[in-house]
């Protein structure tokens, strides 16, 4: 929306905004979707939304449903689903924020058919209902008898000032990515909300436990079989190195590629940077690589590293001792990711190039690690104990 129109729009009463938005939708033929149903007789019915980042809401839902006594449904806006992740309840953003019909029908469905609601990224799961106020929405759901949880995904709960203190190469070091002072206020507000509500809290990556100390790690989920490959890494010359920056500034691509280019010029490695690639093509790219360099600035790991480990590739990334310890405590497994930072990346790569056989066992540990920690079983177990109270 043009800034001038946005200022005018913000001056309109909420009811007028809703009426205009819904009139535009009716003229465009938009149909308000029905709330997602769950089977009769299930012991637990969980609704998770409204973000479904990286399709994780759906993956956690399917993990929950491996117990036949449970049902779960995910939600996200159609406009934000640029990578076509599977979702149970896709809804247009304008419908979510302005349709009283949608808001009322979802609230009715949740309070009559569901037992648990997981609110993702401190966003309003009921859209514009109750003024889009997450506090009021959570309280309304609780008063209706539902158990509500809060799930932090990443930048919504990673406090910039704290991240800068513990990570020398933090992507919050300057305003290159976002205005840090503004984000600091937003994230602090999210953390205050989680603390104030006192709901069961969860985080999708272990690094967020520093920011949400009351949280429980809910590991991201992937399908290991989809990424499995029979090709053995670290057996060819030169080695093939892959980097797939979903966000180059956050991943530290500008720190990675000068080192890569130097080694390519020396004929020691081949390099492929993969961006904007359809998800169904990514397994083939991993299968053709020996090494994935994930990121150097976050100190954590997520879906991309899990996919590469499931493919048996050697993953190099900066992962903090805190994350490695938290994963070990939650799962009993050691994280098979080779540590590197901007100061040590070249040294690490040269060691691998010189003695690739020394690193094959680390790469080979990846598939089993992912099956242990990230195939959904551990996540379901955590939800059963920490959210469902079983």
Which tens digit of pLDDT belongs to each residue from 79-131?
999 888 999 999 999 899 999 999 999 999 999 999 999 999 999 999 999 99
- Rounded distance between C-alpha atoms, residue 366 and residue 310, angstroms: 6
Look at 12-26, 39-53, 181-195, 203-217 and tell me which has the smallest mean pLDDT. 12-26
- Residue 7 pLDDT exceeds 90: no
Give the rounded distance of the alpha carbon of 238 from its chain centre.
Answer: 33
CATH code that applies to domain 31-221+377-386: 3.40.50.2300
**Pairing of the two strands 239-243 and 216-217:** unpaired
Mean pLDDT value across the chain: 94
Quick one: tokens of 80?
A: 């934000």
Domain residue extents for the chain: 31-221+377-386, 224-373
In sequence order, what are the residues at sequence separation of 6 or more whose Cβ sits closer than 8 angstroms to the Cβ of residue 49?
57, 74, 75, 76, 89, 118, 119, 120, 125
Q: What is the pLDDT of residue 278?
A: 80
- If you average pLDDT over residues 314-328, what whole number do you get? 97
Which tens digit of pLDDT belongs to each residue from 157-185?
999 999 999 999 999 999 888 899 999 99
- Residue 22 pLDDT exceeds 80: no
- Residue 8 pLDDT exceeds 70: no
Exposed (0-12), middle (13-18) or buried (19+): which is 58, by Cβ within 10 Å? Answer: buried
- Asked if the domains at 31-221+377-386 and 224-373 fall in one CATH topology, the answer is yes
Domain 224-373 belongs to what architecture?
3-Layer(aba) Sandwich (3.40)
Rg of the chain over Cα atoms, rounded to whole angstroms, equals 22
Helix (H) or strand (E) holding 149: strand 147-152
- Residue 24 pLDDT exceeds 80: no
The closest alpha carbon to 317, from 333, 335, 303, 301, belongs to 301
In sequence order, what are the residues at sequence separation of 6 or more whose Cβ sits closer than 8 angstroms to the Cβ of residue 90?
33, 75, 76, 77, 78, 81
**103 in Cβ contact with 126 (< 8 Å):** yes
- Rounded distance between C-alpha atoms, residue 297 and residue 390, angstroms: 38
Give the rounded distance of the alpha carbon of 7 from its chain centre.
Answer: 32
């Amino acid at each position: 929306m043009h800034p001038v129109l946005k200022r005018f729009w913000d001056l309109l009463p909420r009811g007028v905004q809703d009426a205009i938005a819904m009139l535009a939708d009716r003229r465009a033929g938009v149909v308000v979707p029905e709330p997602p149903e769950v089977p009769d007789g299930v012991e637990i019915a969980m609704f998770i939304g409204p973000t479904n980042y990286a399709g994780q809401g759906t993956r956690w839902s399917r993990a929950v449903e491996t117990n036949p006594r449970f049902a779960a449904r995910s939600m996200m806006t159609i406009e934000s689903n640029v990578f076509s992740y599977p979702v149970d309840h896709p809804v247009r953003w304008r419908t979510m924020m302005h349709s009283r019909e949608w808001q009322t029908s979802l609230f009715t469905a949740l309070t009559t058919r569901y037992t648990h609601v997981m609110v993702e990224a401190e966003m309003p799961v009921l859209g514009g209902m109750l003024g889009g106020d997450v506090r009021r929405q959570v309280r309304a759901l609780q008063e209706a008898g539902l158990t509500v949880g809060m799930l932090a995904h990443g930048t919504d709960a990673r406090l910039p000032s704290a991240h800068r203190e513990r990570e020398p190469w933090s992507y919050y070091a300057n305003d290159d990515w976002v205005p840090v002072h503004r984000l600091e206020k937003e994230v602090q507000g999210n953390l205050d909300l989680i603390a104030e509500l006192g709901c069961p809290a969860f985080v999708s990556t272990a690094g967020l436990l520093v920011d949400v100390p009351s949280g429980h790690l809910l590991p991201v989920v992937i399908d290991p079989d989809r990424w499995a490959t029979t090709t053995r890494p670290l057996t060819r010359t030169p080695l093939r190195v892959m980097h797939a920056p979903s966000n180059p500034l956050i991943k530290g691509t500008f720190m990675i590629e000068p080192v890569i280019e130097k080694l390519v010029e020396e004929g020691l490695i081949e390099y492929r940077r993969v961006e904007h690639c359809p998800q169904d093509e990514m397994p083939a790219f991993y299968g053709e690589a020996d090494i994935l360099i994930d990121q150097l600035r976050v100190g954590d790991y997520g879906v991309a590293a899990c996919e590469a480990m499931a493919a048996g590739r050697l993953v190099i990334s900066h992962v903090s001792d805190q994350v490695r310890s938290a994963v070990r405590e939650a799962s009993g497994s050691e994280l098979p990711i080779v540590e590197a930072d901007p100061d040590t990346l070249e040294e690490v790569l040269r060691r691998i190039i010189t003695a690739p056989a020394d690193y094959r066992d680390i790469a080979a540990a990846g598939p089993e690690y992912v099956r242990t920690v990230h195939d959904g079983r551990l996540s379901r177990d955590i939800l059963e104990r920490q959210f469902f109270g079983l």
